Amino acid sequence: MKALCWYGKNDVRVENVPDPKLINPSDAVIKITTTCICGSDLHLYDGYIPTMEQGDILGHEFMGEVVETGSAVKNIKKGDRVVVPFTIACGNCFFCKKQLWSLCDNTNPNAWMAEKLYGYSPSGLFGFSHMLGGYAGGQAEYARVPFADVGCLKIPDELPDEKVVFLTDIFPTGYMAAENCNIEKGDTVAIWGCGPVGQFAIRSAFLLGAERVIAIDEVPERMRMAEAGGAETLNFDDEDIFDKLKDMTGGRGPDSCLDAVGHEAHGKTVDAIVDRVKAALYLATDRPHALRQAIHACRKGGTVSVPGVYGGLLDKFPFGAAMNKGLTIKAGQTHVQKYLRPLLERIQKNEIDPSFVITHRVNLADAPAAYETFKHKQDNCIKVVLKP
Ligand SMILES: [Zn+2]
Ligand SMILES: [Zn+2]
């Protein structure tokens, strides 16, 4: 099959690789019909993430048709159309039973690597580093899906791929981030970053009852998309964000602040392989500018929600502000499995059509060029879907 493989910094190639096969009885193999490039793929593309290996297949947002199932798979069958969460979860461990799917204890075969950095390991993820399992991703013609009964959600025929493919990551991620804001009726939510996750966070905040959303970015087309979703916008570059937010909220500050920026491609994450991870513990590994500002701007007793991706240690983290203002801070990789059905229902009820975020449709063969376009935000690129 053809797949997009990682070879190093700014080097991805579409290559012929062996077709995936069933390994465990709970596996399924999916023929991919739609897959996407995500902001987290850029962290890999930029070469900042340790424990990548040459030839790794990228991609963690994908859906398709079931072509083969292992003997233990009961909920899906050959021919079903399914979406696949980017978080791989067993469905049976302590964490899965608490709906903390992205913290599953049983799906990262390389847990020891993550344990060195974090104490305990999160779940395995598709198309990420070996520290998070080294699972082949879905920017390919086929993919193997472990624990297929737990992960795959069957999609009704009448819903086209482009309306549901973002259930794999960015819609639940934006939604969980908004949910983590503990929004009450009439609240004002400030959101840093109008990339795809920020866009879904904006719309989710309104779905959850926010009265106002103030979105902060600097890229004009992203700000326009945020405004189309009902947000007021501020430009990072030409405004004093704190003063502006204070003015806009009658001097009190936003009720919740959401950081959908994360450590950014410019952040200097650990640039070495796993045996250097420990040494890196003495470095600041992220550039938490947006997060600092979010904590600073949040009203007393408010909530700071962090869906943005951070890798390691943060420098000059304003914990004093968080403590003295009595803030609640919520973070985490998305528990995608928890949100699949409720968000599918919202799509079916036409409360949201997630395809609004798509700006580019590209054949898998042209994915390397699409990475460049997306990375440099050329051609007003916000979200790329790939067709194998
Ligand atoms: Zn993603
Ligand atoms: Zn589990």
Token code pair at residue 250: 């009658």
- Which ligand lies nearest the alpha carbon of 124? 2
* 379 C-alpha to ligand 1 centroid (Å): 21
Contact 212, 229 (CB under 8 A): no
Q: What is the pLDDT of residue 274?
A: 41
pTM for the whole structure? 0.93
Q: What is the pLDDT of residue 280?
A: 43
pLDDT by position in tens, the chain (length 388): 999 999 999 999 999 999 999 999 999 999 999 999 999 999 899 887 889 999 999 999 999 999 999 999 999 999 999 999 999 999 999 999 999 999 999 999 999 999 988 899 999 999 999 999 999 999 999 999 999 999 999 999 999 999 999 999 999 999 999 999 999 999 999 999 999 999 999 999 999 999 999 999 989 999 999 999 999 999 987 778 999 999 999 999 999 999 998 665 333 333 334 434 443 444 444 556 788 889 999 999 999 999 877 766 666 678 888 999 999 999 988 999 999 999 999 999 999 999 999 999 999 999 999 999 999 999 999 999 999 9
Residue 308: Cβ-neighbour burial (10 angstroms; 0-12, 13-18, 19+): buried
Which ligand lies nearest to the CA atom of residue 107 in the structure? 2
Report CA(209)–ligand 2 centroid distance (Å).
32
Q: What angle do CA 199, 203, 204 make, to 5 degrees?
A: 110
d(CA 98, CA 93): 9
To 10 degrees, what angle do helices 196-207 and 170-179 make?
A: 50
What residues contact residue 333 under an 8 Å CB cut-off, 6+ apart? 87, 102, 103, 122, 123, 125
Q: What's the pLDDT at 285?
A: 47
Q: How far apart are alpha carbons 339 and 85 in whole angstroms? A: 10
* Ligand index nearest the alpha carbon of residue 39: 1
- The rounded Å distance from CA 322 to ligand 1 centre is 28
CA contacts within 13 A on the Cβ side of 128: 22
Phi, psi of 90, deg, nearest 5:
-80, -25
Distances (CA, A) of 38 to 85, 180, 203, 241, 288: 13, 22, 19, 27, 20
pLDDT at 279: 39
Asked if 384 contacts 37 with a C-beta cutoff of 8 angstroms, the reply is yes
Q: Write the DSSP assignment of 355-376 as a string of letters.
A: GGG--EEEEGGGHHHHHHHHHT
CA of 88 to the centre of ligand 2 (A): 8
Q: In the structure encoding, which two tokens stand for residue 248, read together?
A: 């806009």
SS3 189: strand
Q: Which string of DSSP letters, residue by residue, matches 257-294?
A: EEE--TTTTTS----S-GGGHHHHTTS--B--HHHHHH
CA 169 to ligand 1 centroid distance, Å? 5
Residue 268: what pLDDT? 33
The CA 170 to ligand 1 mean position distance, Å, reads 6
Q: How far is the CA of 256 from the centre of ligand 1 (A)?
A: 23
Ligand 1 centroid–CA 173 distance in Å is 9
Torsion of CA 144, 145, 148, 151, to 10 degrees: -160
Q: Phi first, then psi: what are they for 139, rounded to 5°? A: -85, 70
**What is residue 286's predicted lDDT score, i.e. its pLDDT?**
52
Q: How far is the CA of 36 from the centre of ligand 1 (A)?
A: 8
Q: How far is the CA of 271 from the centre of ligand 2 (A)?
A: 30
Distance 38 CA to ligand 1 centre (A): 4
The whole-number pLDDT of residue 312 equals 64
Query: Ligand 1 centroid vs 183 CA: distance in angstroms?
Result: 24
93 CA → ligand 2 middle, Å:
4
For residue 315, the model assigns a pLDDT of 66
- Identify residue 93 by its one-letter amino acid code: C
How far, in Å, from the CA of 309 to the mean position of ligand 1? 10
Locate tokens 């009720």: which residue? 255
- Residue 225 contacts residue 233 (beta carbons within 8 Å): no
What SS3 class is residue 378?
A: helix
| Distance of CA 117 from the midpoint of ligand 2 (Å) | 20
Pairing of strands 328-331, 56-57: unpaired
Q: What pLDDT was estimated at residue 261?
A: 86
Give dist(CA 135, CA 107) in Å, integer. Answer: 10
3-state helix, strand, coil in the chain (%, to 5): 35, 20, 45
The alpha carbon of 40 and the centre of ligand 1 are apart by a number of angstroms equal to 6
CA 251 to centroid of ligand 1, rounded, Å: 36
Ligand nearest to the backbone CA of 170:
1
